[in-house]
Every structure is written in structure tokens, then in C-alpha cells.
Amino acid sequence: SQQGEEDPQALSIQEGENATMNCSYKTSINNLQWYRQNSGRGLVHLILIRSNEREKHSGRLRVTLDTSKKSSSLLITASRAADTASYFCATDANTGTASKLTFGTGTRLQVTL
């Protein structure tokens, strides 16, 4: 079963604009990760935020985590056509003996010129 939901399911913006995607989850977590997937192929890891962190930056990416609301957001600033992809959040809730990433349903981002 899916852990949670990404919102929106689809997003279309123009190059240069910012894109914000939200993720909600259901259980307590150790960390939350964001991945990108191009054209239904492999996933590329973007950023990991631990449960004791509230905000993290990596290049044009900014991730926030609110454990009280069980939600996270991914902001992509100054988007490019190459950012067109599906974006998934994944939660890691295990205690250390195993790792099971539970993915959301994804946001399809379309960046047009």
C-alpha cells in the first residue's frame, strides 16, 4: 500500500517559475526522501531529510518537513525544461535492522519553454 499522497498529482509550469510539491504520510518516520523519475525508468535520489530536521537545501531544491502534520514539501526554484519528470516522496520508517521505503503516488511535473 502507498504510505501517502503527493499533491498535486500533476503540475504544469513555465521555465523559470518555481514548482512546489507536497507530500503527506501516515506513520512515524526516520527520514523522508524525494526521488525523480524520468519517463518511467529508474529513480534518482534528490534529497534526504531526517525526522529531526525541518528544512534542507540542495542546489535549486528546498525541502521542508513537518512531523507534527506528517507532511513535507519540495520546492524547485527557477525550473528548467530538464526538470520535467515525476517526483516521488518516500518515507523510511524502520528502526535500523531493515529499510523499507514507502512511496507516495507521485507528482508529474511538466516544465514548458
Residues lying near other proteins in the complex (CB under 8 A) are found at 1-2, 30-31, 33, 35, 40-45, 48, 88, 90, 92, 94-106
Measured at the alpha carbon of residue 29, what is the angle toward residues 7 and 41, in degrees to the nearest 5?
55
Q: Which is nearer to other proteins, 42 or 59 (CB)?
A: 42
Q: Which is nearer to other proteins, 2 or 112 (CB)?
A: 2
- A 10 A CB-CB count for 36 gives 20
Q: Which is nearer to other proteins, 18 or 27 (CB)?
A: 27
**CA 46 – CA 24 distance, rounded (Å):** 18
CB of 17 to other proteins, least distance (A): 25
CB of 16 to other proteins, least distance (A): 28
**CA 57 – CA 88 distance, rounded (Å):** 17
Grid cell digits, residue 32: 523522508
Q: Which is nearer to other proteins, 45 or 57 (CB)?
A: 45
Terminal CA-to-CA distance of the chain, rounded, Å? Answer: 36
The neighbouring-strand residues paired with 31 are 50, 92
CB of 100 to other proteins, least distance (A): 5
CB of 35 to other proteins, least distance (A): 8
